Structure 1
Amino acid sequence: MSDPNESDQGIPAPEGPTDIIETEYEIGQDNITRQIGPFGLDIHNPVFAISGLMVVAFVLITLAFQEAAGGVFNDLRVWLTSSFDWFFLAAGNIFVLLCVFLIVSPLGKVRIGGKDASPDYSYSGWFAMLFAAGMGIGLMFYGVSEPISHYSSSFADNAGTPESWAPLAGAPGDETEARHLGMAATIFHWGLHPWAIYAVVALALALFAYNKGLPLTMRSIFYPIFGERVWGWTGHIIDILAVFATLFGLATSLGLGAEQANAGLNHVFGLPVNDFSKVLLIVAITGVALVSVVAGLDAGVKRLSEINMVLAALLLLFVIVVGPTLAIISGFFTNLWEYAKYLPELSNPFGRTDDNFRQGWTSFYWAWWISWSPFVGMFIARISRGRTVREFITAVLIVPSIVSVLWMTTFGGTAISQIVNDGYQVVADAPLELKLFAMLEAMPLQAISSFIAIVLVIVFFVTSSDSGSLVIDTITAGGKVDAPVPQRVFWACFEGLVAIALLLGGGLGALQAASVSTGFPFTIVLLLACFAIIKGLRSEPR
């Protein structure tokens, strides 16, 4: 029998459009059935069929009943984040603690792919793909807006209107404390916790695919728990959940990207801000993503990720140089310290954080990261063969977190400095999607920097779409990493359609509801995966 991660040279082509030829791949003592169906699709039935039909139905129903769908989505988001905020926060803490344990434990010596495996990518290429796929659009959208939001609410008088709130109950009116708390709260959402979620999924997938010889799909993680049942309906349900979590997590990011790209193009070129423009942007960028998807991981995704990193580094360096340079450099270390100081309170599921902060921000973020985790985790797993567990966890957990701190300090800190020191209220009053461009407008060369920011949003948009398509394709093909091109095209198109449906059927609230609704059941899946990781690593030679 052939390796499940290699092409099937011995499978004959279908004789007609309705022919389906079944083949089996032996994996240890287990068999998985794949089918070559119409149009050359290599599907893992019933995951592909059920996922595909449900996605098509979701798009049609949401577009047909946009107003009703918007209300349902918003009510669902509020109920989940208010009822299960403690659950999301507790789960996030478990993921961080597991990662820290693996770094210091002897289990960290295990090498992904076996003791003789060597890395497929250099550190620079590895970091570029890892970071671009992980949270690119989010950093662009929230890099300025979130620090300002937390700073403003912490600085306000909490005895005021119901909208006045703060991440932690403190001394309102203390500008320095508000700045520190605002940056600590922002970094909390973009630091160790989200990357720990990604690291858990990525390590589990890499371990069971490259060390145990199982297919690169979510069901394989649970073989130590469910045994042979992972090849039946238990596994089918896990993979279908992974498909929907990935699809809706991506749709949220694509929706945010469309909102910000539309706002930026309006700001620089006067493009109207309306649903038609956003839909047109999603269609156009999905088309670019299709080209990258067809080109594959090395030719498409890797090159776009490296372009992304160069553009992001240029924009970051520009703001550091022309902005409050010394304040940014000193603020980086101050913010790291404040993050560490406030981390126990911010991450306490039953602590004294404000309900709006815990439910409206943290619960949404954790659900969003968890819904992204099959996508980002599988993508990181595919590019991380040859690294030790300790090297892998350290890189995935620490390096991107440090970069996130630098990014938030640079963009958020600069915007706060403009408000406090320069009295520049434009950036404070601008809508969320325009805050980045409002900040850049107060700097030299604002036309050039704003244009680079727009390009960066679009390229982050593309890298999320194309790498997400490759991941969903792998799941629905039963772990095969080189499924046919038409199958990749199908998922790339429907990622765009789901984002369009959610934008038209409720806007940002609907996008957030989609992430939360799929992130909640998948949190349970990831908690089980923690047990499977420990069990799998203990059976490996070190």
Structure 2
Amino acid sequence: MGEVVKDEYSTDYVAGQDNITPFGLDLHAPVFPITAILVFAFVIGTLMFPGEAKELLDGTKWDIIATFDWFFLISANIFVVVCLALIFLPMGKIRIGGQDCKPEFSTISWFCMLFAAGMGIGLMFWAVAEPVAYYTGWYETPLNVEAGTNEARNLAMGATMYHWGLHPWGIYAIVALSLAFFAFNKNMPLTIRSAFFPLLRDKVWGWPGHIIDVLAVVATIFGLATSLGFGAQQAASGLNYLFGIGAGINVQMAIIVGVTALALISVLRGLDGGVKVLSNINMGVAAVLLLFVIFAGPTMTILETLWVTSSNYVGNAVQLSNPFGREDEAWFQGWTVFYWAWWISWSPFVGMFIARVSKGRTVREFVTAVLIVPTVITVVWMSAFGGAAIEQIQQGVGELAENGLTEVSLATFQMFANLPLTGILSFVGIILVLVFFVTSSDSGSLVIDSITAGGKTDAPTAQRVFWVVAEGAIAAALIFGGGEDALGAIQATAISAGLPFTVVLLIMTWGLLKGLSHERQLLIARGELT
């Protein structure tokens, strides 16, 4: 018999024990009303004074980015290093949900869901716009290379991949694995607060935990609302570019209503019949679109760009990750630090959703799937779209070559214009964008509902319906009442929340390592792990 090891992370707290049940709902008493009041007050204030709010909050956002650039970069590096280490450390054998737990979803469906929730929508817009911006010097250049040169092309691909590779997925993986471990291995509620149990112990079920969960819900709502709002504007631009129907408020509102309606249907069908099915379909369509771009576009250039992107990503990762003594301060604060703050502000939402669908996976399998596989696929995607766009510019072909990057939301469609079947390609691209929004809205409502229900994963469907409608209503109100100023103000708030959440993630990282180490000792003592 091995040495008896006491489980330090056992708790008598039950998910939802502090809940109230008005009108047949199942709501966590402090978290739901506080969140509702804060969101309502903030949205009303922003709608009343959109310009002033954007100016004030934008100033705060850029002050945070400029002052704490070093903190964001160092922290993101820590998250990646810890995730890579977990793939090889012995604790990688620990299985989420217990050593006998079986996965709830197939590997393909699981991957499609985490990828669609994580950043699928962003790849449709930035895979062309970002490398073109770096190559042409639209807003500074990485490491101060000369715009329009071969060096600029190579670094444009490497720097773009840097922003969409290991670092954002490392951020998501830390949050997701922390939540999954404490929820499914330690039977704690599936909420952000549970990851703080190693630090706060039973105090986490009191006001310190309430505050953590409220901040997570507010950040998630604002992040989703701004993405839905800006996405509606971008989708409207694409439809106008393709069909000439205009891109005004009426079209944007119609898009939001349509996306919300589809998300509502997805919610009513449940996780297995909703998000999973949509994610599988969307990733299949995305794969077909990717293959078409590769073989209908400059195939040999794209294949060469695969090597260029990969080698420049690896070769420049250390230099791009160093916050000290940078000569390209405007570029790395405006792009890299902005991205890191945005990914971190999204991490409660994406991390909790990934945790929700990852039961039954080992830690090693989990981190490999969340960190490595999306990075490899993103290399191919960015190389195809970005490589084709830069090749068109170098050959003097198309609108991007003639006028440069004039409107970010149209960059992908402008690249499609020089490929066969332009109209079909563009239409498929718009459909992908819209369905990615549906999966984000649905999975986001699942996350918000879980937190505001005290960590319960079986709360009434009506609550998820409420959150889906609320997200769409907030986005519509912001567009209708304040336009880009109101959306920008809320986005600035979400990004500013990245600073305190970086501290939260660092504490979660410590708690995760501590918890996994202790769990390994328990399993070895019980003879369940060698």
Q: Deviations over 1:68-90 (max 9, x none)?
A: 22222322222222222111111
In 1, the alpha carbon distance for the partners of 2:327 and 2:285 equals 36
On the 8 A contact 1:364/1:512 being kept in 2, the answer is no
Q: 1:287 to 1:180 in 2, by over 3 A?
A: same
Summarize the alignment of residues 147-166 of structure 1 with structure 2, pairs less than 5 Å apart. Answer: 147-153=131-137, 165-166=140-141
In 2, the alpha carbon distance for the partners of 1:508 and 1:438 equals 25
Summarize the alignment of residues 78-117 of structure 1 with structure 2, pairs less than 5 Å apart. Answer: 78-117=62-101
In 2, the alpha carbon distance for the partners of 1:290 and 1:356 equals 42
Partner residue, 1:74: 58
1:35 and 2:19 correspond: yes
Q: 1:330 to 1:178 in 2, by over 3 A?
A: same
**Which of 283, 291, 315 is 1:317 aligned to?**
291
Summarize the alignment of residues 244-283 of structure 1 with structure 2, pairs less than 5 Å apart. Answer: 244-283=218-257
In 1, the alpha carbon distance for the partners of 2:380 and 2:327 equals 25
1:34 is displaced (CA, Å) by 3.2
Does 509-518 or 474-483 show the bigger shift? 509-518
Partner residue, 2:447: 471
On the 8 A contact 2:136/2:148 being kept in 1, the answer is no
Q: 1:164 to 1:294 in 2, by over 3 A?
A: closer
Q: Deviations over 1:263-285 (max 9, x none)?
A: 11101121212233223322221
1:440 is displaced (CA, Å) by 0.5
1:122 is displaced (CA, Å) by 1.2
In 2, the alpha carbon distance for the partners of 1:355 and 1:276 equals 40
In 2, the alpha carbon distance for the partners of 1:34 and 1:491 equals 20
1:142 and 2:126 correspond: yes
1:205 and 2:195 correspond: no
On the 8 A contact 1:328/1:409 being kept in 2, the answer is yes
Q: Deviations over 1:25-82 (max 9, x none)?
A: xx73335633343221101110011111211222222222222222223222222222
In 2, the alpha carbon distance for the partners of 1:258 and 1:353 equals 36
1:508 is displaced (CA, Å) by 6.1
Corresponding letter in the other structure for 1:151: Y
Q: What runs of 5+ residues in structure 2 fail to find an aligned partner?
A: 1-9, 524-528
Partner residue, 1:224: 198
Partner residue, 2:319: 345
On the 8 A contact 2:161/2:313 being kept in 1, the answer is yes
On the 8 A contact 2:169/2:371 being kept in 1, the answer is yes
In 2, the alpha carbon distance for the partners of 1:516 and 1:278 equals 24
**Which of 305, 319, 327 is 1:331 aligned to?**
305
In 2, the alpha carbon distance for the partners of 1:376 and 1:366 equals 14
1:235 and 2:209 correspond: yes
On the 8 A contact 1:206/1:385 being kept in 2, the answer is yes
Give the secondary structure class of the aligned counterpart of 1:30: coil
Partner residue, 2:462: 486
**Which of 341, 359, 363 is 1:385 aligned to?**
359
On the 8 A contact 2:196/2:508 being kept in 1, the answer is yes
Corresponding letter in the other structure for 2:417: E
1:367 is displaced (CA, Å) by 1.3
Partner residue, 2:269: 295
Summarize the alignment of residues 388-427 of structure 1 with structure 2, pairs less than 5 Å apart. Answer: 388-426=362-400
In 2, the alpha carbon distance for the partners of 1:376 and 1:180 equals 31
Give the secondary structure class of the aligned counterpart of 1:444: coil
**Which of 486, 509, 534 is 2:513 aligned to?**
534
1:450 and 2:426 correspond: yes
In 2, the alpha carbon distance for the partners of 1:186 and 1:147 equals 6
Q: What runs of 5+ residues in structure 1 fail to find an aligned partner?
A: 1-26, 154-162
1:511 is displaced (CA, Å) by 5.0
1:334 is displaced (CA, Å) by 2.3
In 1, the alpha carbon distance for the partners of 2:209 and 2:474 equals 25
Partner residue, 1:16: none
Partner residue, 2:410: 434
1:175 is displaced (CA, Å) by 1.6
On the 8 A contact 2:190/2:455 being kept in 1, the answer is yes
Corresponding letter in the other structure for 1:478: G
In 1, the alpha carbon distance for the partners of 2:71 and 2:477 equals 29
The size of the alignment, in residue pairs, is: 506
In 1, the alpha carbon distance for the partners of 2:478 and 2:321 equals 30
1:328 is displaced (CA, Å) by 1.1
Q: 1:463 to 1:164 in 2, by over 3 A?
A: closer
With normalisation by structure 1, the TM-score equals 0.90
RMSD: 1.7
On the 8 A contact 2:157/2:309 being kept in 1, the answer is yes
With normalisation by structure 2, the TM-score equals 0.92
Could you tell me the percent identity over the aligned residues? 55
Partner residue, 1:168: 143
On the 8 A contact 1:51/1:244 being kept in 2, the answer is yes
On the 8 A contact 2:58/2:492 being kept in 1, the answer is yes
In 2, the alpha carbon distance for the partners of 1:351 and 1:193 equals 21
Q: Deviations over 1:286-341 (max 9, x none)?
A: 12211112222111111111111011111111101110111112211221111000
Does 183-192 or 101-110 show the bigger shift? 101-110
Give the secondary structure class of the aligned counterpart of 2:17: strand
1:174 is displaced (CA, Å) by 6.6
